[in-house]
Every structure is written in structure tokens, then in C-alpha cells.
Amino acid sequence: MKLPKIFFFVILGLSCVSFATAKDGDIIKRGQCSNGIKTKLKASPENGQIEVEYELDNAAPNELWQITLRKNGTVILRTNQRTNSFGDLEVRKVTPNGSGSERIDASARRSGASAACPLSLVVGF
């Protein structure tokens, strides 16, 4: 039995669909620093709170970075973390959800460097 060409295009198209999508309600901001380093800041509703995730990708492996997360100007996380063998790192913090809008700021600074990789977003979950 010979199948029509359109059948193969449909199958090919379905095989390219990505299932790694954000959940409903997630707010995501992406950025880029020097040397091709990519950043992502994501805020998600989490059982009446806010889950904040900050990612750094494409840095050099095993580099030490200082990451700071702020909510409405107040530090909610400050940590030093090394990139993994791929040059990536991720931090996560769950914080109380106040009333109205919340401003989330994130920055990463490589140890011994002056430049930072900042991102900001506003949520109102």
C-alpha cells in the first residue's frame, strides 16, 4: 500500500514537536552576558508562593559565581556556586507571595570579575 506524501510530512512534523514547555502561569525572561553566556529567570506560582529559578548557561566549566536573588529590593538568596562540567548552573528559591505585584531581580557575577549578568521581571500571581 502506497501512502500519500502528506502522511510523511505530518509524521515528520509531529516528530519535531517539543514537549519541554513552560507551565501555565510561568513568567520567563531570558538574557545574554558577555562571551555567549546565556541567562534565564523564571517565576512560577507554587502552592500560594513564588518559585524563582535563575539559570546560567555556556560559561566555562567549574567557574565560581556569586548569585543574588532579590524580591522587591530585599535579598532572598545570596550564594556562591560553581558551574558544572558543561558550564551551567541553576539556583532555586521559593519565597512568600505578597499581595499585588512583586519585582524579582537576579544577578550572577563571576568570582574576580566586575561585570554581572542581571535579569528582572515582575509577577502578580
Q: Which three cell numbers stand for residue 8?
A: 510523511
Q: Tell me if the pTM is above 0.85.
A: no
Strand positions, DSSP E, the chain: 27-32, 38-46, 49-57, 64-71, 74-82, 89-96, 102-110, 119-123
Mean pLDDT (whole number) for 81-90: 97
Give the pLDDT confidence of 59-76 residue by residue, as tens digits: 999 999 999 999 999 999
CA separation for the pair 9, 84 (Å, rounded)? 39
Give the pLDDT confidence of 7-52 residue by residue, as tens digits: 444 434 433 333 344 567 899 999 999 888 999 999 999 999 999 9
Q: What residue ranges define each of the domains in the chain, with the CATH number in brackets?
A: 23-123 (2.60.40.10)
Residue 106: the pLDDT is: 98
Provide the pLDDT confidence category of residue 82 given band limits of 50, 70 and 90. very high
CA separation for the pair 8, 13 (Å, rounded)? 8
